[in-house]
Structure 1
Amino acid sequence: MAELTDRKLYLGPKLRVLRRELGLNQTRMAEELGVSPSYLNHLERNQRPLTAQMLLRLANTYDIDIRDFTASPAEAGPGELSEILSDALVRDIGIARDEILEVAENYPGVSEAIARFYRALGDLRRLPGEAADRSGPAPLVAPIDWLREIIARAGNHFAELDAGAEAIAAQMSDDPALLQAELRARLKERHNMSVQVMRADVIAGSLRHYDMHRRRLMLSERLPASGRLFAIAYHLCAQELAEAIGAQVARAAPPDEDSRRLATIALTNYAAAALIMPYDRFRQAAEQNRHDIALLRDRFGVSTEQVAHRLTSLNRTGARGIPFFMAKIDRAGILSKRFDGEAWPFARYGGLCPRWDASDARLPDRVETQLIETPDGRRFVTLAMALPQGTAAGADGGRSRSVIALGCEAKHAERIVHADAIDTEKDDAIAVGPTCHVCERRDCPDRALPPVTRALDLHSYERTIAPYPFRRV
């Protein structure tokens, strides 16, 4: 707490957001905190700094984590807003960066509204022909984008589901092989559901299928042990945590039926992972073994992708893990899945930086580690792992190559065994940008597009090393 008294904290917007989330007016909150409404109003308008005493009152009254509340605003806010306002539709206005920072830091609700409108605009741009043919109103936000926003807002952590899954796991074995047998027995005894492994040609095109009439869960023989364990856990959670999952989906207020179904599936997947990898046991194993991916995978009987997913969800107050971000990248370098974490260094819209080598990982049992640096000087450690091929039931019985990449700020490197060969302070880092169309690195030889924020500076008498030379101002 001493460090907080050494600097003035102006956290008015955060205080205002907290009050609104609690459903309180200024008079009621002032009464609960033992201050006058006018003083609280001054705090919310950043006309007075928050004192250490006031922070303690907030923490004790509303059970908040002081470290989270006083943390500097995530770069994603100003970064995302800057990216949106560089769109060709509005970039001629020339909005100054200090104006963007002021809006992002002091008016997060405005930033969120602009981001939602931009996502809706992106959907409409992708559907130019369909918009005129629809008989009814078109959804303004694609279900996948809506779900990603809901998960990001929750920090990919759903406390109720973790608690419910932990309660079930406490009655089960820690051994993955025994756990699978116990989950099967529980499905049969409590829910009259049987589990049967089927030949791939019998349930062609599916990895699992639930026969509602016979109450039989059919699993493809192509599923590895980790996939079978997860499928059984998924269906058990769908039965026993249905109320908690339904309540979480209802609070998210899905805009349409597709979004509701997608959210239900995603949260049931989350619960299944929490059952197989119970929060406290998994977090302690990760910390004690310095986030050894292979060890965690083998200890809990899960896949590399499942371990990576779980590591991004360790956001419980008072027992947080490393704030990892995660990406799933196909062989063309296209992002098919993303969990932003606290410090996603790339753009929210568009592709990845071509200088990030994560998609080059080839061997499933090898972790490729890279040190990268963004234009603002922040450094990140990233871990890339190729997923095994041939484990999904495609038309040819296999799956195309894809990569799972985890990353975090370099300050966490000493807690990660895979980063031991990297000196995060002295080693050269790969210079990356958000994505080509909003990146202003002038000397990048791998640039695929010019930045939309700058005018080109082309001359017939000169060929620069970096493609698409552009003016500084």
Structure 2
Amino acid sequence: MTENLLLAGPALRRLRKREGLTQATMAATLGISPSYLNLIERNQRPLSARVLMQVIERFDFDPRSLREDEAIGGVDGMARRLADERFADLGIDRDEVSELLAVAPQAAAALARLYDRSGQDAGGVNDSLVASRREIERWRNHFADLDHAAEQLADELRLSHGDLGAALTERLRERHQLTVRILPLDVMPDALRRLDLHARQLQLSEMLDRSSRNFQIASQLVSLEQREAISKLVAGAQLDDNAARQLFERHLTAYFAAALLMPYGRFLRACEQTGYDFTVLQRRFGVSFEQLAHRLTTLQRVGQRGLPFFMARLDRAGQFSKRFSGASGATLLESEATCPLWVAHKAFERRGEFCVQPVMVEGADSGPAHWLTIARTVEAIGAGEDATFVIVLGVEARFGGQLTLAKGISLDQAAAQPIGLGCARCYREGCRQRSLPPRGAPLRVDRVARGVTPFEFSPQR
């Protein structure tokens, strides 16, 4: 049988130095030659499963520390950080990222930590958002233990009642002595959900539709019954900032609630059977498009993987209020600006419609460039002025043929719409939508003629 292999030289070298051993002494302890250990430490030979077991047994070693790169999201996680516009002139490609993680994983972790804590120079609340999001990305937005627990609970609920909303309400009443009460807008003008322990009520706004109501009840149930499991994940994240911990906890609570409404196995089978037909999936599981989009980014169970979607929510100004890369490796979500040629902006003019657009992303050197993207508007729930956002789902174009919405759409690269990572990072010439020249690009000013584009520049980086 072929042994499972991995490159883990730097971690093994740190272990040896921590123990105060020479290469010869450690090699003798492990039953290998000093020259072979030297090659392992320099990542010129992989660490076999047999040697790994010797390391674990002889040094009481935690094998998880052999994969430090997982703490920063692996190659995808580091590549997303290095796609930041501040590093655009360095031209760091994916091969260099892989080499950095293989040769100097601790140095890579230090760089990732500095980047994460910088909050992209925004500070304050944004620091907390960035830290929480990076932790979600480290897990690739898949929390296997929560998914399995949610699946078991969903099966229990199905046995108790055919209607999930009724089953959730009944469980709250029987297990926690809480009744669900719907209150009018004038009583709850600024809240969608409120737990009143004095009255033993979970109070919900009348503005919630059925899918949102079920989600809020599920979230409250998760907070009561899965507190320990979620607290362990939050503690394991070792987030320095209290707000970041709270945001991460809120994400995990919402994750479990979504997994309860869309249990992994049944949901993935439905996705594959329907060709990821979003309309059918919404109806079958009684969820909103935004809830569905969130769930599609989480389907990374070993042996049962779904398509690697990314998901983002944008406002009319093109600002991200949510972005989850999942296992997609998407770098186009890392920019603080969006391209006006992206279908996400056109979707605001076509409320409620699915707007499909294959795109080629300029400057996506550290990840896939050819994507199939799908955008649709969603309305915020609550009082006051209507708030409209666009939810965008994306999957690599090579997977796009599996989607019902891709029927009749060419997935050839030549047919894709070129887009950039915001004008300041886009070097495409001749774009009439350009509002800024690329950073570092020398401007050309023609005194004799005026071109059709706002800026002309030299294309070299």
**Aligned match of 2:392:** 405
Q: In structure 1, what residue type is equivalent to 2:376?
A: M
Structure 1 pair 238–17 and aligned structure 2 pair: CA distance change class (3 A):
farther
Structure 1 residue 423 corresponds to structure 2 residue 435: no
Structure 1 pair 82–345 and aligned structure 2 pair: CA distance change class (3 A):
closer
Q: Give a deviation string over 1:33-68, Cα, whole Å, max 9, x none.
A: 9866753552453424x59xx589989x989xxxx9
Hey, what's the Cα distance between the residues in 2 that align with 1:403 and 1:337? Answer: 10
Q: TM-score, normalised by structure 1?
A: 0.79
Hey, what's the Cα distance between the residues in 1 that align with 2:230 and 2:13? Answer: 26
The 10-residue stretch of structure 1 (404-413 or 349-358) with the greater mean CA deviation from structure 2:
349-358
Structure 1 pair 338–320 and aligned structure 2 pair: CA distance change class (3 A):
same
Q: In structure 2, what residue type is equivalent to 1:113?
A: A
Q: Give a deviation string over 1:49-96, Cα, whole Å, max 9, x none.
A: x59xx589989x989xxxx99xxx856644642535447xxx6xxx46
Hey, what's the Cα distance between the residues in 2 that align with 1:409 and 1:357? Answer: 16
Structure 1 pair 80–177 and aligned structure 2 pair: CA distance change class (3 A):
same
RMSD: 3.8
Structure 1 residue 159 corresponds to structure 2 residue 144: yes
Structure 1 pair 470–243 and aligned structure 2 pair: CA distance change class (3 A):
same
The 10-residue stretch of structure 1 (270-279 or 442-451) with the greater mean CA deviation from structure 2:
442-451
Residue 465 of structure 1 and its aligned partner are, at CA, apart by 3.6
Unaligned ranges ≥5, structure 2? 57-62
Hey, what's the Cα distance between the residues in 1 that align with 2:246 and 2:50? Answer: 41
Structure 1 pair 427–338 and aligned structure 2 pair: CA distance change class (3 A):
same
Unaligned ranges ≥5, structure 1? 3-8, 128-138
Structure 1 pair 357–108 and aligned structure 2 pair: CA distance change class (3 A):
farther
Q: Give a deviation string over 1:140-163, Cα, whole Å, max 9, x none.
A: 971111111010110001111111
Residue 174 of structure 1 and its aligned partner are, at CA, apart by 8.6
How many residue pairs align between the two structures?
432
Hey, what's the Cα distance between the residues in 2 that align with 1:181 and 1:435? Answer: 46
Q: In structure 2, what residue type is equivalent to 1:452?
A: R
Q: Please show how residues 250-269 of structure 1 align to structure 2 within 5 Å.
A: 250-269=235-254
* Conservation of the 8 A alpha-carbon contact between 1:294 and 1:365: no
Structure 1 pair 172–432 and aligned structure 2 pair: CA distance change class (3 A):
same
Hey, what's the Cα distance between the residues in 1 that align with 2:401 and 2:372? Answer: 11
What SS is found at the alignment partner of 1:395?
Answer: coil
**Aligned match of 1:130:** none
Q: Percent identity?
A: 37
**Aligned match of 1:346:** 332
Structure 1 residue 45 corresponds to structure 2 residue 34: no
What SS is found at the alignment partner of 2:291?
Answer: helix
Q: Please show how residues 311-460 of structure 1 align to structure 2 within 5 Å.
A: 311-341=296-326, 342-346=328-332, 348-362=334-348, 363=350, 365-375=352-362, 378-387=369-378, 389=379, 392-396=381-385, 399-425=386-412, 428-460=415-447
Hey, what's the Cα distance between the residues in 2 that align with 1:185 and 1:241? Answer: 17
Residue 329 of structure 1 and its aligned partner are, at CA, apart by 0.9
* Conservation of the 8 A alpha-carbon contact between 1:331 and 1:400: no
Residue 444 of structure 1 and its aligned partner are, at CA, apart by 2.8
Residue 200 of structure 1 and its aligned partner are, at CA, apart by 1.2
Structure 1 residue 290 corresponds to structure 2 residue 287: no
Hey, what's the Cα distance between the residues in 2 that align with 1:283 and 1:420? Answer: 20
* Conservation of the 8 A alpha-carbon contact between 1:359 and 1:402: no
**Aligned match of 1:148:** 133
Q: In structure 1, what residue type is equivalent to 2:280?
A: L
Q: TM-score, normalised by structure 2?
A: 0.81
Structure 1 pair 338–249 and aligned structure 2 pair: CA distance change class (3 A):
same
